[in-house]
Amino acid sequence: MDNLWQCNVCGFYQEGGNTCQSCGAAKPLSKAKSPEPYRKPISPPIEKLFLTNKQDAKFLVGKDQRPASLRNTGLGCLLPFLSIFVIAGLFFLGWSVIQLKNHLELNNDGIVTQGRMIDHRIYEDSEGDSYYITYSFVANDQTYSQEQSVSSDLYNRFEAGAPLDIRYLPGNPGKSRIEGEGASPWIPLGFSMCWLSFVMLFLWGAVHQADRNDLLVKKGTLVEGQVVSASSYEDSDNGYSIKLKYSYVSPRDGQTVVRMYDFAARDHKREPLPPQGTPVIILYHSDKHHQVL
């Protein structure tokens, strides 16, 4: 952080370089005087701090009212995106309920008559073939026909014109099925409920985290800590991350607290890891709710 400087034009903080990465202005000849922070001043010079997000320097000197690492910028895009999955889940749930209702009505009130197979087809797909039979039957002096997905065993047992047992509703013959066939409606119903539960849980988690971030920004205080150890690793996508072990004295009970923080650190990839004892700043609300800046 020894080369950290602030642009006189836009206030952007960056490390090294002679032009501002934000607006392109030239680096000032002398370091701009930092404005008074709106929170309790921190004793380590900001140039000596290890910041997990370098843009948080603006927050620490009072140029920004919210740390960059706690901005809920993704929530506005996430809510419309997740709403699509919620709507799809509700639609599928409604369809599943209708299928279950028809299934139970046929089981409880349906009667069986003899019909005939009039056509058949196979839908070929990379994930497996699907088999369909079209049948007809007579009810209330009227002929009804319907196509139904069936098992391969049933499909191979019958030829066109072969008799089939058909279960239908006397009051509504349009609702019918081949006796003993038909997928269980409980499977799509269970899937749709699991789908909605997962999406709603994910949505709740995103909103809950945003609320926690807001609480930390509004009620949090700055606490000084230090690096205990640090290690880095790269994932399969060449992403660079740091595992930071840090400690601080809890404002609640005066005990030393040691925690781990694993974060994406692309801006630190070409820099040495912070040695033990390097000062850090923590935005603190409780020992279970704080953020290393």
Q: At what angle do helices 186-219 and 75-109 cross, to 10 degrees?
A: 150
Q: Which residue has the higher pLDDT, 15 or 165?
A: 165
Give residue-wise pLDDT tens across range 152-161. 888 888 887 8
What does the pLDDT read at residue 35?
38
182 confidence band (pLDDT: 50, 70, 90): low
What does the pLDDT read at residue 43?
60
Chain position carrying tokens 């030829």: 159
Most confident of 20-29, 32-41, 268-277: 268-277
Contact 216/222 with Cβ under 8 angstroms?
A: no
Contact 60/42 with Cβ under 8 angstroms?
A: yes
Q: Across 124-254, where does the E strand assignment appear?
A: 130-139, 142-150, 163-169, 172-178, 221-234, 240-249
What does the pLDDT read at residue 244?
92
Tokens (6 digits) for 86: 């919620």
Residue 236 has pLDDT above 80, yes or no: no
- Bridge-based pairing of strands 163-169 and 172-178 is antiparallel
Q: Mean pLDDT across the chain, nearest whole number? A: 82
What does the pLDDT read at residue 138?
92
What's the longest Cα–Cα distance across the chain? Answer: 98
Closest Cα partner for 166 from 110, 90, 223?
110
Give residue-wise pLDDT tens across range 101-127. 888 888 899 999 999 999 989 888 877
User: How many CB atoms sit inside 10 A of residue 292's CB?
Assistant: 23
Q: Per-residue pLDDT averaged across 227-237, rounded?
A: 86
- CA terminus-to-terminus distance, the chain: 14
**In Å, how far are 146, 161, 232, 285 from 244, measured between CA atoms?**
65, 74, 9, 20
Residue 167 has pLDDT above 90, yes or no: yes
Q: Per-residue pLDDT averaged across 242-255, rounded?
A: 90
Q: Per-residue pLDDT averaged across 81-92, rounded?
A: 86
